[in-house]
Amino acid sequence: MKFLDQAKIYVKSGDGGDGVIAFRREKYIEFGGPDGGNGGRGGDIVFEAVANLNTLIDFRYTQHFRARKGGNGAGSDRTGAGAPTVRIQVPIGTQIFDDEREVMLADLDAPGKTVLLCRGGDGGFGNASFKTSTNRAPRRADKGWPGEERWVWLRLKLIADAGLIGLPNAGKSTFLSVASAARPKIADYPFTTLHPQLGVVRLSMSEEFVLADIPGLIEGAHEGAGLGDRFLGHVERCAVLLHLIDGAAGNVVQAWRTIRTELSSYGGGLAEKPELIALNKTDAMSPQEISQRKRALEKATGNPVLLLSAATQGGVAEVLRALQDRITAERATA
């Protein structure tokens, strides 16, 4: 299934039903009087977060959602039927923005969370509602109130405990494949990963977390270079970031600074998130290169640097344990 994390759709709630003008006419009732009923309510537009969806691809093919009009009133004081609610199911983590993408209308970040986005119009009054002691035969009935309509943007932010970031070819997809049951595409060329991938990492019967692999960033990503920083929104909800650096590529300090610059330029609090730094591809370096590059990275970042080789799975268990401990600590203080 193709991954889609943004979609623009049109939604319109139903108009209210019309009230009617009617009079009671029975053989032995001399003065029947007005008995026109009210119109029914139009259908609402409701968004609901569900657990079995992970993409907005359905909204590429269905972009217009309209609720039905309420039923018209009838004689004998019969009120029109209310129209059913249109429930639009979206993945957990979906945010709803206005047409200008400036105002967030709702954030559906929990299973079963719902939001009434467009309320159906109220039904109009029939002439029975206008009967008074001085106006015993009103010939007035109101039309139903119109429903609400608007264009909205849907934006999906995946729910993950840890986000995997780094330059292209840093080994993120390989790490995800050995740490979880996810099977992302892996190749020896940049930008193999074109959209975020999720994997569940299970350390024990009681310890597991969701890891998100974000497509690689390059210098100038916040200005649209490469794949841009569009997918960074998926790590805004993460408790911790795992920054993978290709140790065999050479200048590891510059690689780290490039990603940090892009995180700061993007904003959204990503630069302030807890970060674990791991030097990958130790199998392609000599012991002396590993030592030198690890020391240089620790001096530049001021943090300890973990060592691993995703290809041979060396050090992977230690990195996953450090991630789990950090996630547990962050969630406890949240």
d(Cα 152, Cα 250) in Å, to the nearest integer? 46
Question: What span, in angstroms and rounded, lies between the C-alpha atoms of 47 and 18?
Answer: 27
Q: Is 173 annotated as a binding residue?
A: yes
Q: Does domain 162-333 have CATH number 3.40.50.300?
A: yes
CB contact at 8 A, 100 and 153: no
Q: Is 82 annotated as a binding residue?
A: no
Q: Is 271 helix (H, G, I), strand (E, B) or coil?
A: helix
Phi, psi of 216 (to 5 degrees): -60, 145
pLDDT, one tens digit per residue, over 107-155 is 998 889 999 999 999 999 999 999 998 898 899 999 999 999 999 999 9
Alpha carbons 114 and 50: distance in angstroms, whole number: 10
Whether 29 has a binding-site annotation, put simply, is no
The Cα–Cα gap between 259 and 246 comes to 12
Which residues touch 106 (CB under 8 Å, ≥6 apart)?
47, 95, 96, 115, 117
pLDDT at residue 199 in the model: 76
Annotated binding residue 192: yes
The b-or-e profile of 109-131 (16+ CB within 10 A means b, else e) is eeeebeeebbbbbbbbbbbbbbb
Quote the CA–CA distance of 228 and 236 in Å, as a whole number. 16
Whole-prediction pTM value?
0.75
According to the annotation, is 193 in a ligand binding site? Answer: yes
Q: Which residues contact 176 (CB under 8 A, 6 or more apart)?
A: 164, 182, 184, 197, 199, 211, 213
Q: What is the mean pLDDT of the chain?
A: 85
pLDDT at 157: 83
Start-end of H helices in the chain: 58-61, 172-179, 252-266, 287-301, 316-333
Q: Flag whether 195 is marked binding.
A: yes
pLDDT at 194 over 60: no
pLDDT band at 190 (very low <50, low <70, confident <90, very high): low
Instruction: Of 258, 251, 313, 304, give the one whose Cα is nearest residue 282.
Output: 313
Query: Is 216 marked as binding a ligand?
Result: yes
Tell me: is residue 280 an annotated ligand-binding position.
yes
**Domain 1-156 bears CATH identifier 2.70.210.12:** yes
- Annotated binding residue 171: yes
Domains of the chain, residue spans: 1-156, 162-333
Phi-psi region of 76 (alpha: psi -120 to 50; beta: other; left: phi over 0): left
* Structural contact between residues 146 and 197, judged by C-beta atoms closer than 8 angstroms: no
* Annotated binding residue 244: no
CB-CB contact of 228 with 192 (8 Å) = no
Which tokens hold the place of 8? 């623009």
* Residue 189 pLDDT class (50, 70, 90 cuts): very low
pLDDT digits (tens, 9 = 90+) for 311-330: 888 888 898 888 888 888 88
Mind listing the pLDDT tens digit for each residue in 31-62?
A: 788 999 999 999 999 999 998 887 888 898 89
Residue 168 among known ligand-binding residues: yes
Tokens 């190749």 correspond to what residue?
Answer: 187
Q: Is 166 annotated as a binding residue?
A: yes
